[in-house]
Amino acid sequence: MIELRSLTKKYGSFTAVDSIDLSVPDGQLFGFLGPNGAGKTTTLRMIAGILQPTAGSIHLAGIDLSADPLAAKAKLGFIPDRPFIYEKLTGAEFLRFVAGLYGQDGDKVEHRGRELMALFDLEEWADELVESYSHGMRQKLIISSAFIHRPDVIVVDEPMVGLDPKAARILKDLFREYVRRGHTIMMSTHTLEVAEALCDRIAIIQHGKIRAVGTIQDLRAEATGGGGLEEIFLRLTGERAARDAMEVLDA
């Protein structure tokens, strides 16, 4: 589970994340949506332990991240939006390396690595250097690396970017199956159809504050007027719609 209490991040005098409270229980796939610059990546990076919060607390699987960072991070798999991979490792070596960071090695890890690479059609590339991988192949490898140590909690920033339709479908199935087994996934995305189809609950963040949180039905009720997630999102965030583009082009 993920528990955020009064979580705040300031960059100088600018408040990027403004005292947010969120709770994502075990067995739930949680969508984190919001306009560009709303504070999604900042929040996810704080949960991953990469960014230090200015205030507030984060608990992962019941462990306080600031009090016991190593134990909390051992529970976590993180898929960042701009991942770093060592180019001079092969795919199989990279997965072994990540598992090693979590103190795991041996036959189990080898087996999991092979299974994950096969799932994403990477098995023929397992012994090739990452520098020869395409953007989508790197993305698949990074996703595999988040599952290699079987964490309780997975935090994902924009997972679908760069994936072909087959890989996107596999990823959706993998995420659903992982939460079905009692794990927790928190995912930011701009792909609203993915959020609508996949997530049990959704939070919409805007200007660093949680604007709405709940199931699609809850959000629909709050936005008043029904419609799909796109209309709900635009109504709740008050974002300008396409007709403004016409005004700009007519000007």
Q: Which is nearer to ligand ATP, 104 or 191 (CB)?
A: 191
Q: Which is nearer to ligand ATP, 28 or 237 (CB)?
A: 237
How far is residue 203 from each of residues 76, 189, 216, 229, measured CA to CA in Å? 20, 11, 10, 12
Query: Total residues contacting ligand ATP (rule CB under 6 A)?
Result: 11
Q: Which is nearer to ligand ATP, 42 or 144 (CB)?
A: 42
34 binds ligand ATP (CB under 6 A): yes
Stretch that binds ligand ATP, among 30-38, 139-147, 211-219, 233-241 (CB under 6 A): 30-38
Q: Are 40 and 205 in contact (CB under 8 A)?
A: yes
Q: Which is nearer to ligand ATP, 39 or 77 (CB)?
A: 39
φ, ψ of residue 18 to 5 degrees: the values are -115, 85
Near ligand ATP by CB under 6 A: residue from 6, 21, 25, 37: 37
53 binds ligand ATP (CB under 6 A): no
- Between CA 233 and CA 227 the distance in angstroms is 10
For residue 90 the two structure tokens come to 């092969």
Write the interaction track for ligand ATP spanning residues 8-27; mark x where CB under 6 A is met and - where it is not: ---x--x-x-----------
28 binds ligand ATP (CB under 6 A): no
Q: Which residues have a Cβ under 8 Å from the Cβ of 206 and sit 6 or more positions away?
A: 34, 35, 38, 236, 237
- Between CA 71 and CA 132 the distance in angstroms is 35
Residues that bind ligand ATP (CB under 6 A): 11, 14, 16, 34, 36-42
